Structure 1
Amino acid sequence: MPIIKLDAIDSTNSYLRRLIHETEVSDYTIVQAKKQTYGRGQMGTVWNSEEGKNLMFSVFKDLSMHIVEFPFYISMAISLAVFKAFKTLNIPDLHIKWPNDILSADKKICGILIENVIKNKLDYTIIGVGVNVNQTNFEHLPKASSLKNITGIHYDLDEILHLILKYTKEYSSLLEHEKYDFVKNEYENNLFRKNKPSTFRDADGNLFSGFVKGVTKYGKLQVILEDEIVKKYDLKEITLMY
């Protein structure tokens, strides 16, 4: 399991993508950085992090030998891998906020960016993970926290990296053995605000109420609206408010 450690880089996902184009990259190659100058999140957001205090890495996962019909199962599996690692560390009140943020109570402690590459079929994926570990100040980010803020413990970044990788391999194996229902059920069981009255914002900025029911195999969020109507929303169509 090659690990490339960098002091600073624009983005570990971008670095890994460039590396793939330049040379042959083995399965589970990891790029880890102390600092990202342009860390990226979902929907073009920027991931900001204090240098050396948090865990920022990307993983190359070869999928050429496997058939993954619905790419969102990769997102669910990786979310569960990080979730399980945090469970092992006894982080309390964990949830997965659709599509793949990890929360403790209602505070975001981890973001995941998955970039799939398709060549006739799904060929490989680049998994970017950013974990707030030992940073304690999140000015202007009221919904962010860290493992240290939550538990008071100062963590070894490499230990957390290897723990996440352990469970990434475990959940990847489940997909390889086509245990899709198991992965989906576990993901849905740990969804933030599931079956609770929640507020949502649509693409036009309008607020409405509903209940998170689950997700489709395509990754759309299922929301129960008035009169028990279930509507499916894509990532660009809806935001789950806290």
Structure 2
Amino acid sequence: MLVIRLTRVTSTQDFAEAIHDIVEEKEFVVVAEEQTKARGRFGRAWYSPKGGLWVTHVMKDFEAERVPDLTLANALAIRKALEKYVNAKVRWPNDVVVGDKKIAGVLVEAVAQGDKATAFVGFGVDTNVTKFPKDVRATSVLLETGKPADNDELLFEIISLTKEYLRLNLSQLAKELDNHSSLNGREVRISGEGWEKRCKALFVDFMGRLVTDCGVFEVEEVHRVEVI
């Protein structure tokens, strides 16, 4: 697989989206040592200094109807790849956490062409990051274990595991996520565009939605979930 390695870039996601038409390979990866304007869901800033694993995995001719499954599959893959280092869980829908501190996140975007799509699976893992801004509740493999992670090894393991998880259908992915959820049984603050609710998270249902005691929430409508 083609791996494009960059020292510094605004965002691997933006770079991959800019070049995908001129790259002949059906699948390729963009990896950066540092991102200066990385973004998460809904354009939120993502702190990504040197030391972390900052990636966009591009898959052309991907089944358009399965694009929503990529977020769950990639988050589960990251969680499993990190097992050798830390006890990580998935914070629905797209974060991986240790305790309640974020250690990784996923951003999936796509350009559809009929029943096919070019999928851009962006993910960042705080592997060897040594410090975070005071307003960022996060951790890293290095901070948790005192030992550095091998970024290249993790990169290819996450990509391989993502493909394995994509062999599952949506209900199977959702069940797997529910088994590894950090939210079940906990009080959470859920917010979207112009609204906020305080609920008790119960489980992730067969459609990948978060079921709570105050409603059922779709991935697309929720901007943020925080444990209270």
TM-score when scaled to structure 1?
0.84
SS in 1 for 2:70: helix
Runs of 4+ deviating beyond 6 Å: none
SS in 1 for 2:211: strand
Which structure has the larger Rg over C-alpha atoms? 1
| Distance of 1:145 and 1:70 partners within structure 2 | 31
**What does residue range 103-114 of structure 1 map to in structure 2 within 5 Å?**
103-114=97-108
Is 2:35 the counterpart of 1:45?
Answer: no
SS in 1 for 2:164: helix
| Distance of 1:122 and 1:222 partners within structure 2 | 30
Aligned to 1:14: 14
| Distance of 1:18 and 1:221 partners within structure 2 | 34
Aligned to 2:226: 241
Which consecutive residues of structure 2, in runs of 5 or more, have no partner in the other structure?
none
For 2:224, the aligned partner's letter is T
Aligned to 1:73: 69
| Distance of 2:122 and 2:106 partners within structure 1 | 6
Distance 1:238 1:132, change over 3 A: closer
Q: State whether residues 108 and 144 of structure 1, in contact with CA within 8 Å, keep that contact through their aligned partners in structure 2.
A: yes
Aligned to 1:232: 217
Which consecutive residues of structure 1, in runs of 5 or more, have no partner in the other structure?
none
SS in 2 for 1:241: strand
Distance 1:54 1:236, change over 3 A: same
| Distance of 1:80 and 1:136 partners within structure 2 | 24
Is 2:134 the counterpart of 1:140?
Answer: yes
| Distance of 1:207 and 1:155 partners within structure 2 | 37
Could you tell me how far 1:237 is from its partner in structure 2?
4.3
| Distance of 2:53 and 2:12 partners within structure 1 | 11
The structure 2 residue matched to 1:127, chosen from 121, 128, 137, is 121
SS in 2 for 1:40: coil
Could you tell me how far 1:222 is from its partner in structure 2?
2.5
Aligned to 2:82: 86
For 2:138, the aligned partner's letter is A
Instruction: List per-residue Cα deviations over 1:98-146 (Å, max 9, x = no partner).
Output: 2111001100000111112211224221111111111121122341111
Aligned to 1:182: 172
Instruction: List per-residue Cα deviations over 1:66-117 (Å, max 9, x = no partner).
Output: x453532121111111111011x2312x211121110011000001111122
Instruction: List per-residue Cα deviations over 1:168-215 (Å, max 9, x = no partner).
Output: 22223x14xxx3332221012212211333343454454423323214
Aligned to 1:192: 182
Identity value in percent: 26
| Distance of 2:37 and 2:188 partners within structure 1 | 32
Higher alpha-carbon deviation: 181-190 or 125-134: 181-190
Higher alpha-carbon deviation: 199-208 or 94-103: 199-208
Higher alpha-carbon deviation: 207-216 or 115-124: 207-216
Aligned to 1:222: 211
Q: State whether residues 215 and 221 of structure 1, in contact with CA within 8 Å, keep that contact through their aligned partners in structure 2.
A: yes
Instruction: List per-residue Cα deviations over 1:20-68 (Å, max 9, x = no partner).
Output: 12232322x11111111211111101212222x111111112344xx45
For 1:121, the aligned partner's letter is D
